[in-house]
Amino acid sequence: MGTVTSATRKTARKAKGDGYLRRAEILQAAERIFVAEGYEGATIRRIADEVGVSSTALYMHFQDKARILHEITEGTFRELLARNSEIAARPVDALVRVRAMLEAYMAWGFEHPNAYQLVYCQRGPVSTTPLPQDAADLSRQCYETFSGVVREVAASGRLRTGDGDSAAQALWMACHGVVALATSRPNFGWSGRQLLTQVTLDGMLHGLVID
């Protein structure tokens, strides 16, 4: 994951009316800038320059940078909730579903390091500002969908220790730690992502759940 600095090359200004400006471009540029420079340090002009449009053109899509941040956050939770909901509904053993949800969570974080760092890892104003209600609801639903399946495992008497809630929290925290470190320190000599995921989940689930 490259580092964005104030010296980042500006994208050539897009011609007025070219029709190619997409909200996704703005969101992706904002993710990089928010992570590299901090939410408070980022400006609409900086984001517009990165995308290659005028600030006026950017305001046609987002009224301010808070709305950009909210859309990134909501988009993250919507995607993770959709994945969790699909997996939770599969007609397979609860432990299989738990592992699949954790694999999907880690894979998403590895695939979207800027969004992951912004939503789950940023300190300061971003992390201390309350989430908009829609995003907070999505976040809660995402976790409840996951923890509900862990509670199924607990209800079957298969946990070696703890209960459904503590097990769900420990599993999430462990997976978060792996993704957060791997995405924030990409130059460290990490093992392959698939292997890291496998070792993390094997170690956690074999130690926590009775076979």
For the stretch 87-135, pLDDT in tens is 999 999 999 999 999 999 999 999 998 889 888 887 655 655 666 778 8
pLDDT 10s digits, 145-182: 999 999 999 999 999 999 999 999 999 999 999 999 99
Contact indicator for 52, 43 with CB cutoff of 8 Å: no
DSSP codes of every residue in 51-80: HTS-HHHHHTT-SSHHHHHHHHHHHHHHHH
**Which domains are present in the chain?**
1-63 (1.10.10.60), 69-208 (1.10.357.10)
Q: Residue 17's pLDDT band (boundaries 50, 70, 90)?
A: very low
DSSP codes of every residue in 139-186: HHHHHHHHHHHHHHHHHTT-BSSS-HHHHHHHHHHHHHHHHHHHHH-T
- What distance in Å separates the CA atoms of residue 108 and residue 111, rounded to the nearest whole number? 5
